[in-house]
Amino acid sequence: MEQVSLNSTTETSQMVSKRDGYFIKQSKSDGIAKASDRDSLIQYKLTIYENIWRAIFLFITICGGILVERVYRFHNDPYTASVPKGHIYDFWISIVSALVIALIRFLIRYFLLDKVVGMLSEKRLKTIEEGKKRADQICKWLFDISYYTLTSIIGYLICKDQPFLPPSLLGSGSCNNLFMGHPEVPYVPYLDIFYLVQTGTHLYTFIHQIIAKFRDPKFYEYALHHGLALFLLWFSYMMNFKLVGIIVLLIHDIGDVFLIAARAYTDLKNRIVAINILIYVLTYPTWVYTRNIVFPFCVIGAAADQYMTPRSEEYSRIMDFPMMYMLFMISALAIMHIYWTFFLSKAAISMLGKGKDKNGYDS
């Protein structure tokens, strides 16, 4: 009797163990399935977004081709032929700048890649390939942090005493002066060389995106952003919209310093959480303030006012379409800012609220 009872107990225990084991395995399987479903949903949404960016990219490219003719007209029409303006040959400085930047990035990667791998947190070292890929990204960010810090300082020093730098950017001027005297543009020391070097940076970034990241899931989104920035720089330089251009550069560079620093510091294994949170706290308001407040109210507002204000017939004949196109371009850029602010907000909430910092734009 005892033997039967013992056997029954043993069989029951084995059944319970098997049953519990089954549920554990089933629970893990369910978790994996749910994670897979979430990843599929995220990928589906990103695919939709990417198709939208692809359509916008193609549309803007076609319109950009039309604008080339307007640039030619601006440079050769009797009304504006005698106006001092930038020349296409000036962009040799941009080409040289792009080559120098490519060399500097290569040297940073060559000398620092292995050291950066050793500084990464465990979550970035699941495989050797993943670790090196992330270290390569951080090497790029190290250059970007240094570069954008430098350009933010230099850009501000160039603009600080000018009548077009508004109080919202620590100036004493007004956004309404961004188009003062146009189609002529007032002389600002070092503006042209700063502009052309910055164009070289965006030239390098755009070429790198086209060549090295053609198969990236967000290829068209980033190609749109980099291509839009590059074309706006070329277009604004050739059409004497340089005052608008340098303010746009300043707005973007300031925010990029903090954003890139936050993304890079997050990956370090010896990071201090308090410093990590501090960087995020500085990043978010800086990004929102410069890109979602100053940019639309200052830059887009000034451009809209310039477009809507009646001008001479000769000016309207040459400038109406370029002004309308520039308004469309900077408005598209403002929409992209809102789009990215949404993802930045999600990442900030996740990081500060749950201690997680993963986001779909961490690349």
Tens digit of each residue's pLDDT (9 = 90 or more) over 298-336: 999 999 999 999 889 999 999 998 999 889 888 988 998
**How many whole angstroms separate alpha carbon 122 and alpha carbon 181?**
57
238 by Cβ neighbours in 10 Å (0-12 / 13-18 / 19+) ranks as buried
Residue 147 confidence (pLDDT) above 60: yes
Q: What is the pLDDT of residue 255?
A: 93
Work out the average pLDDT over 255-269.
91
- Residue scoring higher pLDDT (222 or 151): 151
Does residue 271 surpass a pLDDT of 70? yes
Whole-angstrom Cα distance, residue 89 to residue 75? Answer: 13
Residue partners of 19: CB distance under 8 A and separation at least 6: none
Q: How many CA atoms does the CB half-sphere of 83 hold within 13 Å? A: 20
pLDDT at 29: 54
Q: What percent of the chain has pLDDT over 70?
A: 82
Tokens 């050797």, residue? 128
User: How many other CB atoms sit within 10 Å of the CB of residue 205?
Assistant: 19
Would you say 53 and 209 are in contact if contact means Cβ atoms under 8 Å apart?
no
pLDDT for the residue 326 = 87
Q: What is the pLDDT of residue 274?
A: 87
The strand pairing partners of 268, in sequence order, are: 120
Positive or negative, the CA dihedral 226, 249, 234, 80 is positive
Buried-state track 65-93, b at ≥16 Cβ within 10 A, e below 16: eebeebbebbbeeebbeeeebbeeebbeb
Higher-confidence residue of 164 and 58: namely: 164
pLDDT at site 39 = 53
Question: Residue range 200-226: average pLDDT?
Answer: 84
CB contact at 8 A, 245 and 237: yes
Average pLDDT over residues 202-216: 87
Per residue in 337-353, pLDDT (tens digit) is 998 899 888 887 776 66
For the chain, what is the radius of gyration of the CA atoms?
Answer: 27
Q: 3-state class of 159 per DSSP?
A: helix
**From the CB of residue 25, how many other CB atoms can be counted at a distance below 10 Å?**
10
For residue 17, the one-letter residue type is S
* Confidence (pLDDT) at 41: 53
pLDDT of residue 2: 45
pLDDT digits (tens, 9 = 90+) for 49-74: 667 767 776 777 777 777 888 899 99
**Section 145-156 average pLDDT:** 98
Q: Is the pLDDT of residue 18 over 80?
A: no
Lowest-pLDDT range, 58-62, 157-161, 231-235, 276-280?
58-62
pTM for the model: 0.80
For residue 213, name the pLDDT band (cuts at 50, 70, 90).
Answer: confident
Mean pLDDT, the chain, rounded, equals: 84
Dihedral angle, C-alpha 246, 188, 71, 99, nearest 10 °: -60
